Structure 1
Amino acid sequence: MNRLKVILAAALVCVLAASAAMFAGCAEQNDQDQPQYADEAFMQSLAKGFEARDALVEKSTKTDKSTEYYEKLVDAELNQVEKYQSSQFEDSKLQENAIAYINSLKDQREAAELCATDNDKFQQDWKKAYDKRTTLLKTFVDEYGLTVSPSCQDSLDKLVGHGKKVERDNNEKAAVESLAGTINLEFTEQYSTFTGQATVSNNTGYDFDYINFKVELFDANGVKVETTGLYANHWLNGETIVLNCYTSQKEAPATVKIVADGYEIADAS
């Protein structure tokens, strides 16, 4: 009888041990099945890359501004963040911004190759990528808490400040372009030529010291016959005004294209 008890006890121990091993294996498998998100690692690498690039900038002199110099600046960041181009993020918006940031660096890398051969194109392409990069840095700081070492903080603040300006300028430009799209000119004959007129509401959210629109007139064959303009001064947000477009045409245009041609936002202070 005692021998039977020993056998049963041993069997129970085996069963429990097997169960524990099975559960441990399942737990390990579950851990392996969990996706490995790159959100936190990317933010850390982003900071490291920024700091590495800033260190190169601090060491540079005016005579260093060569193709190799600009390539080294970009590579200092790309070496840290490019690997996240195909990583999986928990935050899909962060992933989108990370890819956009990596692409802005690659655009700067391509621009750097033009430094010695086409400086004007280099400056244009570099600035375009720089503007995009700084707006994304602003996003990383504002929405994801990007931090860098104290020695690099002034540099980050400067770039974020530029990103804010770019974002503001882009918002203003989009609002003005939207306003241009609401202008519907109606042409009537006055003193043997045609004059266009439109009643327009400023719903942009901005007060304008002045705003100008270029008006291109086309005949029925799609030929541009004249370029004229629309002008408004001291146009407040929410205000509705009448805009007049004067032409030298003896016939009303078949089609009209209106684009913003300059403006100044009133000082909010």
Structure 2
Amino acid sequence: MRKGMTRICSLAACVAMALSLSACGDKATDEPEYADETAMSVIAEGFEKRSDKIDELVAKNEDTSTTKNRRLYVQTELDNDKPLKDARFKDSQMQEDVISYINKLEDTMTLLKTSSPNSDDFASQWSSIYDERSKLLKKFVDDYGLTVGEQYQDSLDELLVNGADVAENDAIDEAIRGLVSGVTFEKTDDGYGSFTYSAVIQNTTNYDFSDVGILLALYDAQGVKVEETYANTSSWRRGESVRFEAFSSTDAATMKPSVDYYDVAD
């Protein structure tokens, strides 16, 4: 009887093990496929295909700046990269960046389909998309190890230089706007219906600014904007505190400052 029990127990153990292995196999099969490891290779392939298409046009002595040809090489890259938009990623930031890049390609196609190159705003929109694409490619290289074939490196480097400039300009813009956005301007009644609005602001950024203009929106007690006035300075060095003053005949209940213009000092 003891041998029979031992045999039964052994069979039960084998069945349990088989079920366990089967469950593990199902789990491995059900494991979703992630694009993290291949995404940059896909982006690189799309970049290279776009470059190849441009080279083909140049070899035929065709103008690569026509709407028709621009649509041709942008669509080539988009067709290659678009499947990544629906792919799964473990790294949510990478996914967001990849989708943003594909969105820029789609924005380019929309611009080419809906706007004439001769329209007033086409050049600025094209340039804006170019800048954002450059910045994302710079991030792909720095954060995710994007590489391209040697013959495409010069084209990529040109975009990376622009992307670095765009990123730096964005950082500067964010820095100065951060200085001003939360500042409270104090109101002084100068008499005879005149008011001075002033605030002392320290430049805590790593940048020196010149010709800075702050737009001060003035609102009444009902929250209605009554007037806009300006406070400015010709120089604002890092670490320096500057008193910004604006003048108005409006007795404002609230004030909202924002940066209207500025230059970065040499």
TM-score normalised to structure 2 length: 0.82
Counterpart in the other structure of 1:86? 86
Taking structure 1 as reference, are residues 115 and 188 closer, same or farther at Cα in structure 2, changes over 3 Å only? closer
Asked if 1:209 corresponds to 2:210, the answer is yes
Q: How does 1:72-83 map to 2 (within 5 A)?
A: 72-83=72-83
Counterpart in the other structure of 1:154? 154
Taking structure 1 as reference, are residues 18 and 219 closer, same or farther at Cα in structure 2, changes over 3 Å only? closer
Q: Aligned partners of 1:214 and 1:19: how far apart in 2?
A: 75
CA contact (8 A) 1:82 1:102 kept: yes
Greater shift, 200-209 or 142-151, is seen at 200-209
Counterpart in the other structure of 1:103? 103
Taking structure 1 as reference, are residues 92 and 220 closer, same or farther at Cα in structure 2, changes over 3 Å only? closer
CA contact (8 A) 2:189 2:196 kept: yes
CA contact (8 A) 1:219 1:255 kept: yes
Identity of aligned residues (%): 33
Deviation (angstroms), 1:81: 1.2
Q: Aligned partners of 1:178 and 1:136: how far apart in 2?
A: 23
Counterpart in the other structure of 1:9? none
| Consecutive unaligned residues in structure 1, runs of 5 or more | 1-13
Rg larger in 1 or in 2? 1
Asked if 1:41 corresponds to 2:38, the answer is yes
Counterpart in the other structure of 1:231? 232
Counterpart in the other structure of 2:262? 263
Q: Aligned partners of 1:83 and 1:147: how far apart in 2?
A: 20
CA contact (8 A) 1:108 1:129 kept: yes
Asked if 1:252 corresponds to 2:251, the answer is yes
CA contact (8 A) 2:219 2:254 kept: yes
CA contact (8 A) 1:197 1:243 kept: yes
TM-score normalised to structure 1 length: 0.81
Asked if 1:179 corresponds to 2:179, the answer is yes
Q: Aligned partners of 1:196 and 1:26: how far apart in 2?
A: 72
CA contact (8 A) 2:220 2:252 kept: yes
Deviation (angstroms), 1:191: 5.7
**2:236 maps to amino acid:** W
Deviation (angstroms), 1:263: 1.2
Greater shift, 178-187 or 23-32, is seen at 23-32
Matched pairs, number: 252
Deviation (angstroms), 1:26: 5.5
Greater shift, 40-49 or 252-261, is seen at 252-261
Aligned CA RMSD, in angstroms, stands at 2.9
Taking structure 1 as reference, are residues 96 and 222 closer, same or farther at Cα in structure 2, changes over 3 Å only? closer
Give the secondary structure class of the aligned counterpart of 2:129. Answer: helix
Deviation (angstroms), 1:170: 1.4
Asked if 1:29 corresponds to 2:26, the answer is yes
* Alignment equivalent of 1:57, drawn from 54, 59, 68: 54
Taking structure 1 as reference, are residues 113 and 174 closer, same or farther at Cα in structure 2, changes over 3 Å only? same
Counterpart in the other structure of 1:5? none
Q: Aligned partners of 2:122 and 2:198: how far apart in 1?
A: 43
Give the secondary structure class of the aligned counterpart of 2:33. Answer: coil
**2:247 maps to amino acid:** Y
Q: Aligned partners of 1:227 and 1:48: how far apart in 2?
A: 51
**1:245 maps to amino acid:** A
Counterpart in the other structure of 1:8? none
